[in-house]
């Protein structure tokens, strides 16, 4: 697996701080999927808007809709650990879990595509306990905005999902 959790530059860290704010995160939740699609189409899936703007590693997650049973595509920040991908179901700090989370709960067999690569099959699982604490710490080191999202999401606890090939 080739995915680097690289350090964001000064401008990207500034965008990350802005994105953690309530108004900006609501706006980004609406426009980023469209921007990500456009940038990936233009660059042949090598880049996406979130990575370029905020310096965060992003994957394309492919799930089966929990109700529709149709294939669903979602761009998500992902943290790579060995051969696993870690997803944070923050929903930008919203009061409910994101739709992709419910899709994974209904069918944990998913596909994920790293920038510039074909989609590969994974099995998703919700993590808890010490493992969750470890990944939550890593997520906040990557993007400190997750902490602000958790405060806004209360009383909801933001789930962490691990994808294993």
pLDDT tens for the chain, residues 1 to 165: 334 456 788 888 888 888 889 898 888 888 888 888 788 788 877 777 888 888 888 899 999 999 999 999 998 999 988 889 999 999 999 999 999 999 999 999 999 998 878 899 999 999 999 999 999 999 999 999 999 999 999 999 999 999 999
Specify the pLDDT at position 55: 85
Length of the chain counted residue by residue:
165
Taking each helix axis as running N to C, give the angle between helix 22-43 and helix 10-19, from 0 to 180 degrees, rounded to the nearest 10. 130
Q: What are the distances in angstroms from CA 120 to CA 37, 60, 93, 112?
A: 19, 10, 28, 6
Specify the pLDDT at position 149: 95
Alpha helix (H) residue ranges in the chain: 10-19, 22-43, 49-54, 99-106, 129-142, 145-153
Look at the alpha carbons of 26, 97, 34, 117 in this order and tell me if their dihedral is positive or negative. positive
Q: Are 100 and 72 in contact (CB under 8 A)?
A: yes
Specify the pLDDT at position 46: 76
Token representation of residue 9: 């530059």
Q: 3-class DSSP state for residue 47? A: coil
Q: Are 50 and 75 in contact (CB under 8 A)?
A: yes
How many angstroms separate the CA atoms of 165 and 150, rounded?
Answer: 28
The residue with tokens 């590693």 is 57
Closest by alpha carbon to 142, among 71, 73, 90?
90
Closest by alpha carbon to 60, among 100, 5, 30?
100
């Amino acid at each position: 697996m080739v995915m680097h959790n690289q350090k964001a530059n000064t401008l990207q860290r500034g965008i990350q701080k802005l994105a953690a704010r309530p108004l900006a995160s609501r706006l980004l939740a609406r426009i980023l999927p469209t921007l990500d699609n456009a940038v990936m189409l233009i660059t042949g899936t090598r880049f996406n808007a979130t990575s370029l703007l905020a310096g965060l590693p992003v994957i394309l997650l492919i799930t089966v809709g929990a109700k529709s049973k149709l294939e669903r595509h979602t761009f998500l920040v992902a943290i790579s650990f060995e051969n696993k991908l870690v997803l944070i179901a923050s929903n930008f700090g919203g009061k409910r879990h994101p739709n992709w989370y419910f899709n994974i709960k209904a069918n944990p067999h998913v596909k994920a595509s790293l920038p510039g690569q074909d989609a590969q099959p994974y099995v998703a699982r919700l993590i808890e306990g010490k493992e969750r604490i470890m990944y939550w710490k890593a997520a906040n080191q990557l993007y400190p905005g997750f902490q602000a999202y958790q405060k806004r999401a209360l009383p909801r606890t933001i789930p962490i999902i691990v994808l294993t090939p």
